[in-house]
Amino acid sequence: MAWSRDDMARRAAQELKDGYYVNLGIGIPTLVANYIPEGVDVTLQSENGMLGMGPFPYDGEEDPDLINAGKQTITALRRSSYFNSADSFAMIRGGHIDLSILGAMEVSENGDIANWMIPGKMVKGMGGAMDLVAGVKRCLVTMDHTNRAGASKFLKSCSLPLTGKNCIAMVITDLGVFERDGSGQFRVSELAPGITLDEVRAKTEADIDYP
């Protein structure tokens, strides 16, 4: 059975290491915060200007001056600090964040990612996504393996405008985990329960390494 969104988030959370500073994107990546392994201390960065992001507030305790990069109300922790947007992206661009987990519309076999624009439709803007994929030490994508029409989102090369080139180290989809090795090629490193390599082959356009 293919992984659910929560399964993907749980698997992504296994990539968190003790002491890591992590930036989580919108969607499935946000769920990762619910599955941080026990004994692993992780500090979440929110690129609008916060390190040490806490949980959502209790009802009625929302503070309009305290939101995350998804514009949701959040809370602070004892360790938290606030800073301005230039300092926040200096932190990101300068390689001080260990891991970024992002959603994607497309990922290519050479690690390109597209997740900000569909030409002809409305353009919302890239926000901080281009900065994150260019600056964070390791970037990981969680996404459905195929789109609603059943077409592969894991491609030979991206058809949509890129967010970044050669920057994704790992892709976690509903079908499994795909990790890049030293040669730069993605390989199947894990399958979701009941998923076969043949099913992955059928649903993957990218040239990846099968065991």
Partner 1 sequence: MSKKIYENAAHALEGLTFDGMSVMAGGFGLCGIPENLIAALRDSGAQNITAIFNNAGVDGFGLGLLLETRQIKKMVSSYVGENKEFERQYLAGELELEFNPQGTMAERIRAGGAGIPGFYTKTGVGTVIADGKPTREFDGETYIMETGLTCDVALVKAWRGDAQGNLQFKDTARNFNPMMATAGEITIVEVDELVEVGSFNPNFIHTPGVFVQRIIQAKCEKRIEKVTTRGPRPIEGDA
Distance in Å, CB of 204 to partner 1, minimum: 23
Asked if residue 27 binds partner 1 (CB under 8 A), the reply is: no
Q: Does 39 bind partner 1 (CB under 8 A)?
A: no
Q: Which stretch binds partner 1 (CB under 8 A): 7-15, 58-66, 144-152, 170-178?
A: 58-66
The answer to whether residue 45 forms part of the interface with partner 1 (CB under 8 A) is yes
Looking at beta carbons only, is 114 or 170 nearer to partner 1? 114
Degrees to nearest 5, angle at CA 46 with 99 and 92: 50
Question: In the annotation, is 47 catalytic?
Answer: yes
Kindly state whether residue 160 participates in binding partner 1, applying the rule CB under 8 A: no
Q: Give the residue with the Cβ less far from partner 1, 30 or 189.
A: 30
Q: Candidates 36, 57, 138, 199: give the one binding partner 1 (CB under 8 A).
A: 57
Sort residue 141 into left (φ over 0), alpha (ψ -120 to 50) or beta.
Answer: beta
Of 35 and 82, the one with the shorter C-beta distance to partner 1 is: 82
38 touches partner 1 by CB under 8 A: no
Cβ 174 vs Cβ 203: under 8 Å: no
- Return the residues of window 87-126 that contact partner 1 according to CB under 8 A: 88-97, 112, 122-126
Q: Give, for 10, the enclosing helix (H) or strand (E).
A: helix 5-13
Give residue 117's Cα distance to chain centre.
17
CA distance 118 to 115: 9
Distance CA 126, CA 16 (A): 25
Q: Is 202 helix (H, G, I), strand (E, B) or coil?
A: helix
Report DSSP letters for 111-179, one per residue. Answer: S-EE-S--TTS-----TTHHHHHHHSSEEEEE--SB-TTS-BSEESS-SSPPSBSS-EEEEE-SSEEEE
46 binds partner 1 (CB under 8 A): yes
Residue selected from 14, 73, 185, 189 as contacting partner 1 according to rule CB under 8 A: 73
C-beta closer to partner 1: residue 92 or 172? 92
**Does residue 31 bind partner 1 (CB under 8 A)?**
no
Selecting among 47, 106, 109, 179, the annotated active-site residue is 47
**Catalytic site residues?**
47
